[in-house]
C-alpha cells in the first residue's frame, strides 16, 4: 500500500462536475493498493498517518498530528501510485490491485481511518474519473509505502 500525504489548507474532489467532498485544514491522502496488501497494511498505515507530526505548534515547529489540530482528511484512491516505468515510456500498472480486491481494501481503509481519527473522513469514489484540487500547505508532501515502513 502506498500513500502520498499532503498537508492542505483546502482540498476537494469533483466527479462529473459535482463536488463530492471537500475539506479545509487537514490531510489529502492519495492511496494506492497492490495485490500483496492486507488488513495489517491498513492498520499500520492509518495509525502512522494519524500520528504523523506535520502540523505546526505555537512555535512554528511541525510537532502536532492531525488529531491534535482536529484536522480533516480527504482520501482518494489512486492506482497510478503503482506505475512502473522500467520499460518504455508507457507506464504499466500491473502491480496495482484489481477492483475486486482493491475496492474492499479501500473501504476498509476508510473505516479504519475514521476509527483512528475519531471522526468522519471524506473520500472520492473508487474508479471514478475525479478532479482533485488542493492548496498544499507548506508545501508538505510525504510518501509512505507499507512494504518499506520508512
Active-site residue list? 80
Alpha carbon separation from 13 to 17, 23, 45, 117 (Å, rounded) = 10, 9, 22, 20
Record the cell numbers describing residue 75, joined without a space: 482520501
Q: Are strands 122-123 and 72-77 parallel, antiparallel or unpaired?
A: parallel
Per-residue DSSP letter, 74: E
Give the list of residues 6+ apart from residue 51 with CB closer than 8 angstroms, or none: 65, 67
Q: What is the DSSP string of 96-123?
A: BPPHHHHHHHHHHHHHHHHHHHTS--EE
Q: Residue 20 in contact with residue 75, Cβ under 8 Å?
A: no
Amino acid at each position: 500500500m502506498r500513500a502520498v500525504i499532503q498537508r492542505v489548507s483546502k482540498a476537494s474532489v469533483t466527479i462529473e462536475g459535482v463536488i463530492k467532498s471537500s475539506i479545509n485544514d487537514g490531510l489529502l491522502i492519495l492511496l494506492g493498493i497492490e495485490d500483496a496488501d492486507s488488513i495489517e497494511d491498513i492498520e499500520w498505515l492509518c495509525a502512522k498517518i494519524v500520528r504523523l507530526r506535520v502540523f505546526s505548534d505555537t512555535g512554528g515547529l511541525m510537532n502536532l498530528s492531525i488529531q491534535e489540530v482536529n484536522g480533516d482528511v480527504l482520501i482518494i484512491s489512486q492506482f497510478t501510485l503503482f506505475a512502473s516505468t522500467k520499460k518504455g515510456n508507457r507506464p504499466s500498472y500491473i502491480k496495482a490491485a484489481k477492483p475486486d480486491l482493491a475496492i474492499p481494501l479501500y473501504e476498509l481503509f476508510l473505516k479504519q481511518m475514521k476509527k483512528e481519527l475519531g471522526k468522519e473522513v471524506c473520500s472520492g469514489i473508487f474508479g471514478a474519473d475525479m478532479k482533485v484540487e488542493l492548496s498544499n500547505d507548506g508545501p508538505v508532501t510525504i510518501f509512505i509505502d507499507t512494504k518499506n515502513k520508512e
